[in-house]
Amino acid sequence: MAALIATTTLTATPHAARADGIEKPNDFFWPTRLSLAPLRMHDSESNPYGADFDYTRDFQKLDLEAVKADIRKILTQSQPWWPADYGTYAPFFVRMAWHAAGTYRAMDGRGGEEGAEQRFEQLNSWPDNASLDKARRLLWPIKKKYGRNLSWGDLMVLTGNVSLESMGFKTIGFAGGRPDDWESELIYWGPGTRFMTSNVDAQVKSSRVNAAGHLQKPLASTTKGLIYVNPEGPNGVPDPAESAKMIRLAFGRMAMDDEETVALIAGGHTFGKSHGAAPADKCVGAAPAGAPVEQQGLGWANHCVKGKLKATDAITSGLEGAWSADPIHFTSQYLDNLLGHDWVKTRSPAGAVQWKPKDAENIVPDASDPNKLHPLMMFTTDIALKTDPAYHAIIARWAQHPEQFADAFARAWFKLTHRDMGPKSRYFGSEVPAADFLWQDPLPAAQGAAVNKADIETLKHMIAGSGLSGREMIKTAWASAASFRTSDHRGGANGARIRLAPESNWAVNDPSELRKVLPRLEAIQKRFNAGDHQGRKVSLADVIVLAGNVGVEQAARKAGVTLDLPFAPGRVDATAAQTDKASFSLLELDADAFRNYYRSVPDEKSPTQMLVDRASNLELTVPEMTVLLGGLRVLDVNSGHSQQGVLTTHPGTLDNAFFVNLLDMSTRWQKSSARPGVYEGFDRESDKKRWSASSVDLIFGANAELRAVAEVYASDDGQKKFVNDFAKAWTKVMTLDRFDLRRD
């Protein structure tokens, strides 16, 4: 929700075990060493179900209604080891689903519900996620019952939906299909070694924190350890106006507009309560990652409890109270209370700044004792919705039209919990909404039957005679397909959005070249579709990918190798109306090492780090990344037709020259004195300049792990393997967004 958080300052100690006498890891000695760990996340060996496990296939065997019935039973079965507020876990489970989905950030597509990363560090031990470890333990009987058929990610979202429905709210649907991760996803969550620090803390004084004290892009949260914003106000200062700015910043980075933002905050704060009955620094123990082994992964133990545990003994945010007099039913009380009272600052029993009505009355039921009543409360972030003019207009309208509020919250909740799943083709289950939403990057239905093998050969012949060079065809296909990012399954060749704004104008794609290439490919598409092919039609998206294949096959023939790249038709062409320009612009690449493109951006990663980041988002392994980069270099497809890294005397030929020449010890490399970021290679004997390259080129000779792979391709017997491996990796990238093929 907007900010159900812990305001305690907890210390993350990833290097605590590095005391004297304990062996240090490599990054302790060489902190600037390039880590290839993100590329090994795609190794199926970490999945205990094995490489052949297909989660979506197993999920579809579920009786979804039976699962929901099991969840409904658990909601009211209060457990003595973690009693339910008001006799139901529904608000608690809504927070669990919210905080899992709410880590999504639109800038790089990372975070979100898919993978169920909330089970792992850092998220498992974030202050903002205090006690959500208990929520997942409460759900363990259901996960245990359904095993491989129900992932943690799907279970958490479904439980959130069932919980809302149990409190009288009507959701608009649920889609399954979120496979679980089996190791922490190595996502960058922010600088420093402490959570919930202010901007004056020396530990967060880095390039990743701006002058206002909030985290820089691509991070969505404004503070390390928070899902969104500090509920007490920026850096704990109870300033509603500044809070409104931070809310708009954080939710905007999740691709939520003002109405969606207000709907999510108001809808979430309709339910449940915050927990701050006692000071966390005195009563609350370590987070799960720091808890002793006998606690079995449960953190935040309350050491101040004497006797039987009660619901009010939970301490999470340090703030205390509820926003509504009926916190377990969907009402418009939150809106009415926020607008209907004058609010004044006060403090919770834990000492956190919160707000109470000036005319406060005890009208809120106690979470444990129905005979006790408490006053309403609000966070500073709630008051911000009342004081900000744009937000105020929304809540005032919804207070008059609660049905609009319910509809807005239903849509925003569905977007929140499904945003990271990608297109609708990845949705499964009996409750998938029929409606299409623009944020799903919708695609139209195919205009005819798919082309057959004979048609493909005809199209390849037409493409070969188009007058386009192999370089132009390969480069366009790569630009189209390699826009994909697996983090939220957006981008890719399907839809041919490379011909539409904003993608057609991205600098990395060399727009002037696209304006030459795309019309010729469109002409081929139209000419083929105008012919008599018994209703079979081809999309421009298919023609673009097929043209890339033609270019690669031609380049292989120049090297004396015959290739027949596999091609699966079935892509379609999206329209401008199906493309959210503002949201899609976030996919623009600041770097594509495969085209030796790097746009210097303040506070961004190094070019070599961004190489690994881009390769990871293309689901590449270390060898696949290596062979693709070396192959694309000799194919001469650099952005801007740069010659950096084109380590070959016969560009356009698909051979292993890049690796042979990179590892040639007769070349001496040095930084260019005239061009920053450029390296020049000289013949050691004659001192004649041979090559120019970037750091992402030289890293394949400098990094020991990458050099080991490069040596395979540079060997005298490596040429055939190089071409075959390049062909496989190329085809993989061309079909990353073909989710229909992955299910075949």
Round to whole Å and give the CA distance between 447 and 44.
37
Give the CA distances from residue 726 to residues 552, 565, 629, in Å, rounded to whole numbers and listed in that order. Answer: 10, 11, 9
Q: What are phi and psi of 119, to 5 degrees?
A: -75, -20
Q: Are 466 and 520 in contact (CB under 8 A)?
A: yes
Instruction: Specify the length of the chain in residues.
Output: 744
**Is the sign of the CA dihedral 488, 492, 494, 497 positive or negative?**
positive
Give the CA distances from residue 432 to residues 141, 405, 423, 435, 696, in Å, rounded to whole numbers and listed in that order. Answer: 25, 22, 12, 9, 43
- How many other CB atoms sit within 10 Å of the CB of residue 401? 12
Give the CA distances from residue 510 to residues 58, 579, 610, in Å, rounded to whole numbers and listed in that order. Answer: 43, 21, 20
Round to whole Å and give the CA distance between 74 and 141.
9
Active-site pick, 42, 99, 374, 418:
99
Encode burial over 119-139: b for 16+ CB neighbours within 10 A, e otherwise: bbbbbbbbbbbbbbbbbbbbb
Q: Are 61 and 54 in contact (CB under 8 A)?
A: no
Q: What are phi and psi of 190, to 5 degrees?
A: 130, 165
Q: Are 165 and 178 in contact (CB under 8 A)?
A: no
Q: Could you tell me the two tokens for 320?
A: 């205390």
Q: Are 2 and 231 in contact (CB under 8 A)?
A: yes
Please, which residues have CB within 8 angstroms of residue 420's CB and are 6 or more apart in sequence? Answer: 101, 104, 109, 111, 112, 113, 114, 487, 488, 489
122: preceding bond cis by omega (within 30 degrees) = yes
Q: What are phi and psi of 508, to 5 degrees?
A: -60, -25
* Secondary-structure breakdown of the chain: helix, strand, coil percentages, each rounded to the nearest 5: 45, 10, 45
The DSSP code sequence of 657-672 is HHHHHHT-TTEEEEE-
Query: Coil, strand, or helix at residue 468?
Result: coil
Please, which residues have CB within 8 angstroms of residue 687's CB and are 6 or more apart in sequence? Answer: none
Round to whole Å and give the CA distance between 150 and 163.
18
Cβ contacts of 464-469, under 8 Å, gap ≥ 24: 464/550, 464/554, 466/520, 466/521, 466/524, 466/547, 467/520, 468/517, 468/520, 468/521, 468/547, 469/551, 469/652
Known active-site residue 275 = no
- Residue type for position 440: Q
Q: Could you tell me the two tokens for 343?
A: 């609010």
218: preceding bond cis by omega (within 30 degrees) = yes
Q: Supply the Cα-derived Rg of the chain in whole angstroms.
A: 28
Q: Which residues pair with 680 in a beta bridge?
A: 670, 692
**Is the sign of the CA dihedral 75, 78, 84, 85 positive or negative?**
positive
Q: Could you tell me the two tokens for 578?
A: 């199906």
Q: Which residues pair with 495 in a beta bridge?
A: 573
**Rounded to the nearest 5 degrees, what angle is found at the Cα of 142, between the Cα atoms of 138 and 145?**
140
Annotated catalytic residues are: 99
